[in-house]
Amino acid sequence: MLCDSSAQWKSPVRLSRPTSDDRESLTSESDGPPVSPDASISPNIRRLLISGLALAPAGANVIMQLSRLPIGHAIVESKVHSGALRKHPIKRTRTTLAFIMVALSGTEHERAVIRREVNAQHRLVRSDHDSAVVYDALDPDLQLWVAACMFRGVIDAVTSFIGPVSDVEFATLLRHCSRFATTLQVSESRWPRDRSSFNDYWTTSVRDVSMDDVTRAYLRGLASLDFLPAPLARALGPSHRFLTVGFLPSPFREELGFPWTPRDQKRFEKIVSRAGMVNRHLPRALREFPWNLIELDTRRRIARGRSVI
């Protein structure tokens, strides 16, 4: 899908596109920088990371990732229809969760398999002469932003449903979640080292958040679930939109143009508090659903040589 010709852009937005040498190094036999060494996930870290309730901010997190124009246009204009959310919502959800699950708890081999499959898709996503915005899905700067948003989603979920994240917990989660970046095309050396450096990166990067008519319409549609069949979108859309807007930081919310009142905030906080309370008393199998099923399915696919993405 090409960008809407009515979008108000006088000239393309330029970014540093990977050179042919960069692309070759990122898509060689090893498919980019080596993934982090295998590291077991402790029960405490798994408790913080693996919770079905962590999917509550997922819509907001996707919007955050796509709120930079090159990434938003890359998704809207992508010609890789096999993984398009609007065409294959169930498959896209499964593959996204599979990537996250493998990045967080997969072995080095499993992460290498996922990286190769993701790279194969990303090689096909590049702007052309008709694009209002220049983009390349193999751009490490854009991949770093996506990974940082995913980590921010982890922190948002833990803070909302469990409680404040201590400096020690933050450092442990930050180190473990570097896998979000290294399972893409980002070298570990570029991942923020500590809470201060992550906050600095985040504050600086949020200044690049921008939407145009094309990406704003697409992202508002995601918030409202308009990619689902009409009856489902009508039934689930309003609640999903409310939670999504509630989890969005104000710069993203303002770009989308969604109103948010103090009354909305109070209602949102009450819902989150009650959900967290219920979640803490669930048995592990229920608390980790659907991540536990995604983990099982993904490992079976990799073990049998089947495609995951």
Structural domain tally of the chain? 1
DSSP 229: -
Q: Structural domain of residue 259, as residue ranges? A: 41-303
35: left (phi over 0), alpha (psi -120 to 50) or beta: beta
| 24 domain-assigned | no
Cα dihedral 52→138→11→129 (10° resolution): -120
> Helix %, strand %, coil % for the chain, to 5?
65, 0, 35
| 277 domain-assigned | yes
The one-letter amino acid code at 95 reads: T
Q: Which residue has the tokens 């933050």?
A: 170
| 30 domain-assigned | no
DSSP 78-98: ---GGG-TTT-HHHHHHHHHH
Predicted confidence at residue 40, as pLDDT, reads 57
How many Cβ atoms from other residues are within 10 Å of residue 233's Cβ?
A: 16
Quote the distance between the C-alpha of residue 191 and its chain's center: 16
| 31 domain-assigned | no
Predicted confidence at residue 6, as pLDDT, reads 33
Rounded distance, CA 66 to CA 71, Å?
Answer: 5
CA distances from 58 to 12, 96, 152, 221, 240 (A): 30, 10, 11, 14, 10
| 14 domain-assigned | no
Quote the distance between the C-alpha of residue 56 and its chain's center: 13
Predicted confidence at residue 81, as pLDDT, reads 67
Rounded distance, CA 158 to CA 170, Å?
Answer: 10
| 247 domain-assigned | yes
| 21 domain-assigned | no
Task: Please report, in tens digits, the pLDDT of each residue of the chain (309 residues total).
Answer: 333 333 333 333 344 444 444 444 344 444 544 444 445 577 888 888 899 998 999 999 999 999 999 999 999 988 876 666 777 788 889 999 999 999 999 999 999 999 999 999 899 899 988 888 999 999 999 999 999 999 999 999 999 999 999 999 999 999 999 999 999 989 999 999 999 999 999 999 999 999 999 999 999 999 999 989 999 999 999 999 999 999 999 999 999 999 999 999 999 999 999 999 999 899 999 999 999 999 999 999 999 999 998
Backbone angles phi, psi at 121, to 5 degrees: -75, -45
Predicted confidence at residue 65, as pLDDT, reads 96
| 222 domain-assigned | yes
Rounded distance, CA 247 to CA 57, Å?
Answer: 6
Backbone angles phi, psi at 236, to 5 degrees: -100, -20
